[in-house]
Amino acid sequence: MKITFPYMGYYAPVFTNLFRKLGNEVVAPPRPSKRTLDLGTKHAPEFACLPLKILLGTYIEALEMGADTIVSTGGVGPCRAGYYTRLQEKILRSLGYDFRMFTIEPIKGHLMDIVRTIRSFVNVPVTKLYDALTTTWLKLAYIDQFERVCHHRRPVEINRGSSTRLLEEGVAAIDKAQNCKEIREVGRAYVDMLGKVEIDETKNPLKVGIIGEIYVVLEPAVNFEVIENLNKMGVYAHRSIFLTDWTRENAFLDALRIQPEKQIRAQARPYLNQPVGGHGENSVGETVRYAKSGYDGVIQLAPFTCIPEIVAKSILPKVSRDLGIPVLTLTLDEQTGLEGVMTRLEAFVDLLMRRRLRAGEASA
Ligand code: SF4
């Protein structure tokens, strides 16, 4: 089997390694580019949301590079993600590609299906499977930690680019680490180095929360590197979703009927009291939480035609008025361009800065 899978930020090399450790050849998916989106847009239905188009384009590129097996994730609930792999499979077959497709569904209610699916591409004994899964988890957890620390240091770093350089070095070093001991050593070293990046302690950066649909929040190539660009403007951007947190809460704990996400849903409740799929409820709840935690603003990343984020977007103006927190929605589709995004980010940052100055004058 020559496996490929959806590309996702700094996590992509970790999944390449995982599938190799499970005894497969891997065709690493390329980072999403204009060509990826053009291919996806050309062959997907016009109404489909951006993640479907990007992933479709990614699969076409990987199949052209020699992949013969696609492993992707499914979904349940009101969002359309649950049938997207079926649709992508149909489209790819109609284009003449010959391949196998595996969909890993959420654990809750699908445990035996997942075991059956995973067994299809596991070609190693159980001990090696355990090793592959534990090292993968540890690598993902350290990458999340690197990014968290980097997001804190980069807006106020003294030597421009030093945090990003260390982050990229750390991800590469984690990728090379072979076992849990090595991963921990490398991980701790880079968390420590990132935490010591020289910063201007006198600065008090604006604080912005980043909410929205999981794929566009996690994939910088799709969200126009919104966090890095805000950091370069001197703004601290807190990403509301990290892959290991999300997996722990939505796959493992949810399967055990333990719901730590309940808290965020409780925050959303005065405004939205029923599931709307995807991250719709989270987007509302996170905005409430950011407002109560003293953040200056919130940016919602919403794929065009994404129903959960459309529902959230229609509610956020009320949250914004009630709690006094500005919210900017960036709707992302194939028409969105870097210049437009940057102009809107700059205008939003300018607005937040003026609000802060006014608030300072009022309290003086
Ligand atoms: S959450 Fe939105 S963007 Fe993501 S798959 Fe569902 S409808 Fe599409």
Q: Could you report the per-residue pLDDT of 135-145, keeping only the tens digit for each?
A: 999 999 999 99
Res 257 pLDDT > 70: no
For the chain, give the number of residues. Answer: 364
Closest Cα to atom 5 of ligand 1: 81
**Residue, of 250 and 267, whose pLDDT is higher:** 267
Mean local confidence (pLDDT), 21-41: 96
- Ligand 1 pocket test, pick from 309, 310, 311, 336 with the greatest ligand atom count within 8 Å of Cβ, gives 309
Type of residue numbered 19: F
Ligand 1 atom with the smallest distance to the CA of 84 is 5
How high is the pLDDT of residue 114? 78
Residue 115 phi, psi dihedral angles, 5° rounding: -60, -45
Q: How many CB atoms are located within 10 Å of the residue 338 CB?
A: 10
Q: Which atom of ligand 1 is nearest to the CA of 303?
A: 3
**Tokens linked to 282:** 């989270």
162, 198 Cβ separation under 8 angstroms: yes
Amino acid occupying residue 79 = C
Domains 2-124 and 205-364 fall in the same CATH topology:
yes
Structure tokens given for 92: 């790819």
| Among protein residues, the one whose CA lies closest to atom 3 of ligand 1 | 306
Range 196-219 average pLDDT: 96
CB 303 near ligand 1, within 6 Å: yes
32 lines ligand 1 (CB under 6 A): no
Alpha carbon distance, N-terminus to C-terminus of the chain: 67
Give the pLDDT score at 75.
Answer: 75
Percent over 70 (pLDDT), the chain: 95
Q: pLDDT tens for residues 149-195?
A: 999 999 999 999 999 999 999 999 999 999 999 999 999 999 999 99
pLDDT at 255: 59
Q: Which CATH architecture has domain 2-124?
A: 3-Layer(aba) Sandwich (3.40)
CATH of 205-364, one of 1.10.3720.10, 1.10.357.10, 3.40.50.11900, 3.40.50.1860: 3.40.50.11900
Q: How far is the CA of 145 from the centre of ligand 1 (A)?
A: 26
Q: What is the pLDDT of residues 285-342, one digit of tens each?
A: 999 999 999 999 999 999 999 999 999 999 999 999 999 999 999 999 999 999 999 9
Which residue ranges make up each domain of the chain?
2-124, 126-204, 205-364
Instruction: Please indicate whether residue 212, judged by its CB atom, sits closer than 6 Å to ligand 1.
Output: no
Q: Quick one: pLDDT at residue 250? A: 73
Mutate to test the pocket of ligand 1, among 307, 310, 333, 336 (most ligand atoms within 8 A of CB): 307
Cα of 219 from ligand 1 centre, angstroms: 14
CB of residue 213 inside a 6 A radius of ligand 1: yes
Question: Phi and psi for 332 in degrees, rounded to 5?
Answer: -110, 125
Per-residue confidence (pLDDT) for residue 119, from 0 to 100:
82
What confidence tier does 259 reach under pLDDT thresholds 50, 70, 90?
A: low
Q: Is 57's C-beta closer than 6 angstroms to any atom of ligand 1?
A: no
Kindly give the number of the ligand 1 atom that is closest to the alpha carbon of 49: 8
Nearest ligand 1 atom to alpha carbon 50: 3
Rounded percentage of the chain residues whose pLDDT exceeds 90: 80
Atom of ligand 1 nearest to the CA of 279: 1
Cβ 206 vs Cβ 238: under 8 Å: no
pLDDT at 260: 59
Neighbours of 169 (CB within 10 A): 14
Contact 227, 188 (CB under 8 A): no
For ligand 1, say whether the CB of 141 is within 6 Å of any of its atoms.
no
Gap from CA of 278 to ligand 1 centroid (Å): 6
Judge whether residue 89 has pLDDT over 70: yes
CA dist 132 and 130 (Å) reads: 5
How many angstroms is it from 80 CA to the middle of ligand 1?
Answer: 6
**What is the model's pTM?**
0.93
The pLDDT value given to residue 109: 64
46 C-alpha to ligand 1 centroid (Å)? 14
CA–CA separation, 143 and 239 (whole Å): 14
Q: Higher-confidence residue: 120 or 16? A: 16
* Residue 102 phi, psi dihedral angles, 5° rounding: -120, 135
Q: Give per-residue pLDDT as tens, 183-207.
A: 999 999 999 999 999 999 999 999 9
Residue 318 has φ and ψ, to the nearest 5°, of -70, -40
